[in-house]
Amino acid sequence: MKSILMVCLGNICRSPLAHGILESKLPESEFYVDSAGTANYHVGDLPDHRSIAVAKSHGIDISHQSGRQFLVSDFDAFDHIFVMDHSNFTNVINLARSNEDIAKVKLMLEVNANNKQQHVPDPYYGDMSDFEHVFKLLDKACAKLSKTLINESA
| Residues binding ligand 4NP (CB under 6 A) | 8-14, 37, 41, 122, 124
SS3 sequence, 16-47?
A: HHHHHHHHHHCCCCCEEEEEEECCCCCCCCCC
Catalytic residue among 48, 74, 85, 122: 122
Q: For residues 45 and 79, which CB has a smaller minimum distance to ligand 4NP in the complex?
A: 45
Q: What is the smallest separation between the CB atom of 99 and ligand 4NP, expressed in angstroms?
A: 27
Q: How far is the CB of 42 from ligand 4NP (least distance, A)?
A: 6
Alpha carbon distances (Å) from 94 to 5, 57, 69, 80: 17, 36, 15, 17
Nearest partner of 135 among 44, 62, 32, 46, judged by Cα: 62
Report how far residue 112's alpha carbon sits from residue 91's, in angstroms, rounded to the nearest whole number: 23
41/100 with CB nearer ligand 4NP: 41
Minimum Å gap between C-beta 49 and ligand 4NP is 12
Exposed/middle/buried for 32, CB within 10 Å: 0-12, 13-18, 19+? middle
Q: Is 14 a catalytic residue?
A: yes
Nearer to ligand 4NP among residue 57 and residue 153 (C-beta) = 57
50 flagged as catalytic:
no
Query: Looking at the annotation, which residues are catalytic?
Result: 8, 14, 122
